[in-house]
Amino acid sequence: MDIFCKIINKEIPAEIIYEDREILAFKDIHPAAPVHILIIPKKHIESVNVLADKDADLVGKMILTAKKIAQDLQISEKGYKLLIRTGEDGGQEVPHLHLHLIGGARLYEEIRPV
Ligand code: AMP
């Protein structure tokens, strides 16, 4: 079982920001910025690569959840980043789909090959 499924099952702790039937949002354990929250589906989906058409509403809900959290944390006006890493070249470490919400400071933009 991946580490995010363990957080969903409350087998390991996390600082939960939002939870409903389908979605869980919690603070990233190694924040890259003042606000760094991970929004995940409770259903185990390994990555964007295995998303199906029937998951479209769920993915939409992940983004809308990020929007609401950003509003609640009052970072909407200044802006933020939403990031989904996918697979080895994308730098994905945890094999459970997750949307990073990163903000609270002006962020460097560095996307380049290793
Ligand atoms: P990624 O590289 O996109 O797969 O991102 C994985 C993220 O999960 C990293 O930013 C980690 O800091 C974060 N992470 C790993 N384990 C935990 C945990 N137990 N609780 C919260 N965040 C975690």
* C-alpha dist (Å) from residue 54 to 38, 50, 82, 91, 108: 22, 11, 22, 26, 35
Does 94 contact ligand 1 (Cβ within 6 A)?
yes
Q: Is residue 110 part of a domain?
A: no
Does 93 contact ligand 1 (Cβ within 6 A)?
yes
CATH number, domain with residue 20: 3.30.428.10
- The pLDDT value recorded for residue 110 is 87
- The pLDDT value recorded for residue 109 is 87
Q: Is residue 109 part of a domain?
A: no
- Tell me the whole-structure pTM to 2 decimals: 0.98
Residue 4: its H or E element:
helix 3-8
Q: Is residue 108 part of a domain?
A: no
Q: Is residue 65 part of a domain?
A: yes
Query: SS3 helix, strand, coil % of the chain, rounded to 5?
Result: 30, 20, 50
* 19-51 confidence digits (pLDDT tens): 999 999 999 999 999 999 999 999 999 999 999
Q: Is residue 23 part of a domain?
A: yes
Domain count, the chain: 1
Domain that holds residue 64: 3-103
